[in-house]
Amino acid sequence: MAQNIIVQFTEFEFRELLKNCIAEGIKENTQAAQETSNKLFSVREAAIFLNLAPQTLYGFTSNRTIPFIKKGKKLYFKQSDLELWLTDGKKESVAEIAKSFDVKIKGGKQ
């Protein structure tokens, strides 16, 4: 059975408690995001992450079309580099093109 705890805080104490809890949560999320982005993948893990065959990944490394790290005979891929590589190939949708076109017309000289 759950126990109820009743505590009285002043408004100032309550605000400080909330600020500290929020700051701690943001710090934990930031650290987790940094750890994830700095994660190194093996060829197999990178192939799974990118949904590619390992042979395709080896081809990309030999053509130097994908960022990689080579230590000895081992290949490693940084997750943040792979995410950037993926977004570099992003094509704009028709709506995005139209929106940027509208901004250029409104903001530029006619």
pLDDT along the chain (110 residues), means of 10: 81 88 84 73 95 95 93 93 87 81 61
Q: What per-residue confidence (pLDDT) applies to 100?
A: 76
Nearest CA to 78 out of 43, 23, 39, 110 is that of 39
Instruction: Provide the residue ranges of all domains of the chain, joining segments of one domain with +.
Output: 40-80
Question: Is 53 within 8 Å of 42 (Cβ atoms)?
Answer: no
Tell me which DSSP letter residue 92 carries: P
pTM of structure: 0.55
